[in-house]
Amino acid sequence: MGYYNRLDVEAQAEIDRIVAWYGSNKDLPDYVLNHILSSKQLLEDVVTLWENGGSKDFTAEAAKPARKVKGRRATYRKPRFELTTVMAISIVVSIWALALIGAVLLAGV
């Protein structure tokens, strides 16, 4: 088997591993799947753990938190208005107001 053909076979084997893992774990919550699929290293670790039977309970019930968390976590909060944003809006509004006042004064002359 040639070098490039062997690379294709190895790549296909890796894809088959990931597809098999996803097929048996697609019932996990979306946020868990997104987190796992966003990191190549984490995905490889999870697939290897799954293949070795490291965790027998890879179900949606096992992924649920033990208790309900009240409120949202800080990492998922919507960003607040920062001081720089408020200052930028204030500058734009004051320039607009000065331009409007100038236009009124010029029209009255």
Task: Please indicate, yes or no, whether residues 74 and 86 belong to a single structural domain of this protein.
Answer: no
d(CA 63, CA 28): 7
Q: What pTM did the predictor assign?
A: 0.44
d(CA 29, CA 108): 65
Mean pLDDT, the chain, integer: 78
pLDDT of the residue at 98: 93
Look up residue 77 and give its two tokens: 């909060």
Identity of the residue numbered 35: H
**pLDDT, average across residues 62-90:** 68
Task: Please indicate, yes or no, whether residues 20 and 56 belong to a single structural domain of this protein.
Answer: yes
pLDDT of the residue at 60: 53
**Torsion angle of alpha carbons 34, 38, 39, 42, nearest 10°?**
10
Task: Please indicate, yes or no, whether residues 88 and 71 belong to a single structural domain of this protein.
Answer: no
Specify whether the CB–CB gap between 27 and 57 falls below 8 A. no
Domain extent, residue 107, equals 81-109
What is the number of domains present in the chain? 2
Q: What is the pLDDT of residues 27-47, one digit of tens each?
A: 888 888 888 888 888 888 888
Task: Please indicate, yes or no, whether residues 90 and 104 belong to a single structural domain of this protein.
Answer: yes
